[in-house]
Amino acid sequence: MPQTDAAAVALARDGDSEAFRALVERHSRAVYRLAYRMTGSAHDAEDVVQETFLKAYRQLARFESRANFGTWLHRIAVNCSIDLIRSRPHRETAHGDADLEQFGAVLESTDATGTSPERLMLSTEVQRRIGDAMSGLSRMERAAFMLRHFEGRSIDEISEALGLKTNATKHSIFRAVRKMRAALEPFVADA
Amino acid sequence: MHTPHLSEDELVLHYYGEADAGKDSGSAHLAGCEECRRSYTRLQRVLAAVDSMPAPELPDGFERSVWARLEPALPVRRRWRSWFVLSPASLAWAAAVVILVAGAFFAGRMTQQQPSRPAQASASAEQIREGVLLADLGEHLDRSQTMLVELVSSDLTTSKVDLTAERERAEDLVAANRLYRQTANATGDVALTQLLDELERLLVELATSPDDMSSEDMEGVQQRIAAEDLLFKVRMVSSAIRQRQKTESQVRSAAGRT
């Protein structure tokens, strides 16, 4: 197995499938986690992993050997996730605040009072709440928020990538943040 | 002068450095407003906590399963996709290539140099055998095409799609498809091998699907058929085969008259 990504890429370009396999084995977990974070679905994340490596394989000739393979792959995975999200019909432009209130009520009902914020901050409860909050996001809210928060994309870039108007993108991010606040503020407010 | 507090949304924009440059009095306001500063600190804590978002658990051997799924697709996808960039020019070129190779699949060896008499008898038997095989392949592709049309026109407005008929049909088609693919591969017909390989993967997936498929999964199947231009390619090869059969029949008739 090639020691470095650069060596594996060079071999894979020459048709060495075992070298490409080494790249897949090194990076598939990271790609899956990114894809899952973006799509919120295990099934979609698997599809994104598959498509990402297929695209990478087809585009190996374009990869510049001085670049970092992981970073390059990450960019492909983000784009594949966006393509998948955009390919699905979305019906979330007309949300009122009712679902936000409902979401807050659900979280309140499971509020874990009486536990120190410091401990909870490190506990699985916070992680569980993040997971709950994430699953409460619509597909576009999730994608816009992830691209802004984790990928550092600007709102304009996100709008272009997701095919949304700037205000719609902002609205998606605001709603996502509100849901995060509703889920997590009780635990972090006085930390 | 009293300035209004920053709204929650303005704080979010400020956090991400997205506030309009001309209007961003956020920093100055936060420096002088205790209430907004507290609110902003809470926001910072919430978003910092989001960074600890849990990663999904993955089973041991995850990488192997990714590779197992990926490997069969690699050589196929690479070639097909490089053909089908979907510009009109490349589509036309691809169409010509597919027609040529589909014709060459069975017929290429029929136009060899004039054989001697004993060889002529053998060539004739060979021609008949290949003609039968060609007809079978054409029928196989026609049946596959019918199934693909039904799949792409499935109604997605219901939560479940009844896949019983398609699943049974896919089961019937898988074994034959495998034989045709192996034959195409053995005769070195790369393009037809690739098409049959793509078709086979879809057939296997359908054959192992539940009778009731969710509309979301069915949408995925439809998108895959569209993304791979599967219906287009099957139609094209099927049409090429029919044309080939017609030509062969005319050649044989002409030869019988002489």
Over the stretch B14-70, which tens digit does the pLDDT of each residue have? 999 988 765 556 788 888 889 999 999 999 999 988 887 877 888 888 998 899 888
CA distance A33 to chain B (A): 6
CA distance B223 to chain A (A): 8
Looking at per-residue pLDDT, the higher value among B129 and B100 belongs to: B129
Query: Which residues from B are below 8 Å from A135, CB to CB?
Result: none
Q: Long-range contacts of range A51-57, CB-CB < 8 Å, 24 or more positions apart?
A: A51/A80, A51/A83, A51/A84, A52/A76, A52/A77, A52/A80, A53/A24, A53/A28, A53/B66, A53/B70, A54/B70, A54/B73, A54/B74, A54/B77, A54/B78, A54/B81, A55/A80, A56/A23, A57/A12, A57/A20, A57/B74, A57/B77, A57/B78
A29/B69 CB distance under 8 A: no
CA distance B162 to chain A (A): 21
Chain A residue with minimum CA distance to B79 = A58
Query: Which of B12, B50, B73 faces A130 most closely, judged by CB atoms?
Result: B50
Q: How far is CA B52 from CA A122, A125, A128, A155, in A?
A: 9, 12, 11, 23
Chain B residue with minimum CA distance to A58 = B78
A130/B70 CB distance under 8 A: no
- Specify the range with the lowest mean pLDDT, choosing from B123-127, B245-249, B254-258: B123-127
Query: Which residues from A are below 8 Å from B219, CB to CB?
Result: 88
Looking at per-residue pLDDT, the higher value among A21 and B205 belongs to: A21
Chain A residue with minimum CA distance to B12 = A174
CA distance B95 to chain A (A): 21
CA distance B195 to chain A (A): 17
Query: Which residues from A are below 8 Å from B62, CB to CB?
Result: 28-29, 32
Chain B residue with minimum CA distance to A189 = B42
Residue % of chain B over a pLDDT of 90: 10
A178/B16 CB distance under 8 A: no
Instruction: ipTM value, please give it.
Output: 0.79
Over the stretch A164-177, which tens digit does the pLDDT of each residue have? 999 999 999 999 99
pLDDT at B76: 41
